[in-house]
């Protein structure tokens, strides 16, 4: 008897191993590199690492991006929005698939249009530190939402930004109680907090509107966990999700679960989609 699972066939030859390069060896990239290096993703082989700083202790060569494009079938972006803006279209035009963790870069409509038009490489976003986006996307496909909000609560030091003046940074850094740092649309949130609010951009893509999603960012000195509360109302139903992630020990701006979300997305991209996606 044919089941829903057995109908899901690999996208590539089951014997093939796709060559994967990781761009960025920071808090997210290091976790991805470690699992790939020990063969932890079936059908994937770590081919190289790209980073602006020397990377040691990795069982793969460190190369520049041009060389990585030549070597790889798939590139995994773990380096930030600048890399996406500057190189996403180039990677896809070379026929290399691209898995993006810095989803907030695509709050720029012009960039999104240019990258979507590129190919033949495929583009995939990872859900990162947020859950429930599959249900939100399914509901939005039936009818547009009327209200969507994302409230994120993080440690004060993880929300500081270079564009903030000294007085603002001091106020946030020394606060003894929760303080709202930002409130506005997801498009502006992704631009102003490129490493802290990719969650807002992910939700915006799920509901197909950067302008509908209202974002609040709270700096809380008692926030041992990074929390995201997602609320959405629409014709399909009323939804509320609360996610509480432990910050990455290497970088409190991101959650420790993100590398594992990237790896899960990579499993689908390299042709092992026998799972709930």
- How many residues are present in the chain? 277
CA distance 137 to 141: 6
CA distance 170 to 165: 9
Q: Kind of pairing, strands 147-154 and 123-125?
A: unpaired
Phi, psi of 159, rounded to the nearest 5 degrees: -110, -5
Q: What is the DSSP letter of 54?
A: -
CB 55 within 8 A of CB 62: yes
Q: What is the DSSP letter of 127?
A: -
Q: What is the DSSP letter of 163?
A: T
* Beta-bridge partner residues of 142: none
5-21 as b/e: b if 16+ CB within 10 A: eeeeeeeeeeeebbbbb
Please enumerate in sequence order all residues whose Cβ is within 8 A of that of 188, keeping only pairs 6 or more positions apart, or say none: 215
CB 254 within 8 A of CB 159: no
68-99 as b/e: b if 16+ CB within 10 A: bbebbbbbbbbbbbebbbebbbbbbebebbbb
Q: Which residues are catalytic?
A: 228
Q: What is the DSSP letter of 62?
A: B
């Amino acid at each position: 008897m044919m089941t829903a699972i057995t109908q899901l066939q690999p996208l590539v030859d089951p014997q093939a191993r796709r060559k994967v390069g990781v761009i960025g060896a920071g808090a997210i990239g290091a976790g991805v590199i470690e699992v790939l290096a020990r063969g932890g993703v079936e059908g994937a082989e770590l081919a190289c690492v790209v980073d602006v700083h020397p990377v040691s202790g990795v069982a793969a060569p460190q190369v520049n991006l041009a060389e990585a494009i030549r070597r790889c079938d798939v590139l995994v972006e773990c380096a930030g929005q600048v890399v996406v803006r500057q190189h996403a279209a180039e990677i896809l035009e070379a026929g290399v698939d691209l898995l993006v963790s810095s989803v907030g870069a695509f709050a720029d409509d012009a960039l999104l249009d240019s990258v979507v038009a590129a190919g033949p490489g495929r583009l995939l976003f990872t859900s990162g530190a947020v859950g429930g986006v599959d249900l939100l996307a399914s509901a939005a496909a039936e009818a547009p939402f009327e209200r969507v909000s994302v409230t994120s609560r993080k440690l004060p030091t993880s929300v500081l930004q270079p564009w903030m003046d000294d007085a603002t940074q001091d106020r946030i850094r020394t606060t003894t109680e929760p303080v709202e740092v930002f409130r506005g649309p997801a498009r502006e949130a992704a631009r102003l907090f490129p490493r802290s609010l990719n969650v807002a951009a992910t939700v915006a893509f799920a509901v197909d509107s950067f302008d509908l999603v209202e974002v609040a960012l709270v700096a809380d000195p008692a926030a041992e966990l990074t929390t995201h509360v997602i609320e959405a109302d629409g014709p399909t139903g009323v939804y509320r999700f609360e996610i509480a992630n432990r910050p990455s020990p290497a970088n409190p701006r991101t959650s420790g679960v993100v590398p594992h979300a990237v790896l899960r997305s990579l499993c689908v991209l390299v042709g092992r989609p026998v799972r709930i996606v």
